Chain A
């Protein structure tokens, strides 16, 4: 069964450093998402991406965040200058059509020291 993959599984970085989290969505999917989950809390929507542009972003997704689909397979989330409060699990998800099941990747655990 096709699946969403994410790399790395765990990333440790120093405050102020840039990080790039990578995702490979399911190959024929058209809509892509990033979510995050701070330890012990619920999963929160960050951003959705369709037709090579952001279709919606939450208030969490400020100027420090950016997303890109640099080629036909990868979907990346960049945090320009990490803060301690960016420590969280970041999930990528994708769907083929509106309203379909969202398939989630295994997540990247980001730790900012």
Chain B
């Protein structure tokens, strides 16, 4: 099956710093999503980005599908950005729909 690798596995930032999280995947995909898992375990949808670039406030993401990677940028980080960031890629199912394969995540801690 498709492989999804995320880097770095852990990241500690000072508040106000910027960071880039990377997601590499091993095959063509029809969907790519970035999630933030909050301390209560909920998966918060950040971006649906199978290709191109999107921005939402201090966050932006870029996916280069032909080179099989995606980047998540966090600017001016805040303590509330702490948590685990997951990249998940979608592949079509012959029976309909698609399933997401998740990476192992980047654990981000933002300190004062």
Contacts and interface: CB of A to CB of B under 8 A. Distances in A.
Interface of A: 30-31, 33, 35, 37, 41-45, 48, 50-51, 53-56, 89, 91, 93, 95, 98-104, 106-107, 109
Interface residues of B, number: 28
A56 B99 contact: yes
Interface of B: 30-31, 33, 35, 40-43, 45, 48, 50, 86, 88, 90, 92-105
Contacts, number: 82
Interface of A is mostly: strand
5 nearest CB pairs, A to B = A55-B95, A31-B97, A50-B96, A101-B48, A43-B102
Name the residue in B41, B92, B99, B100 with the highest tally of chain A Cβ atoms < 10 Å from its Cβ.
B99
Nearest to A102: B100
A107 B40 CA distance: 10
A35 B97 contact: no
A45 B88 CA distance: 11
Nearest to A99: B30
Contacts of B105: 42
A47 to B, nearest CB: 9
A108 to B, nearest CB: 10
Contacts of A30: 97
A81 B11 CA distance: 40
Given A41-B104, A43-B43, 6 more contacts: A33-B100, A45-B99, A48-B93, A51-B96, A54-B95, A56-B94
Contact of B104 (A42, A51, A56): A42
A95 B101 contact: no
A98 B30 CA distance: 9
A93 to B, nearest CB: 8
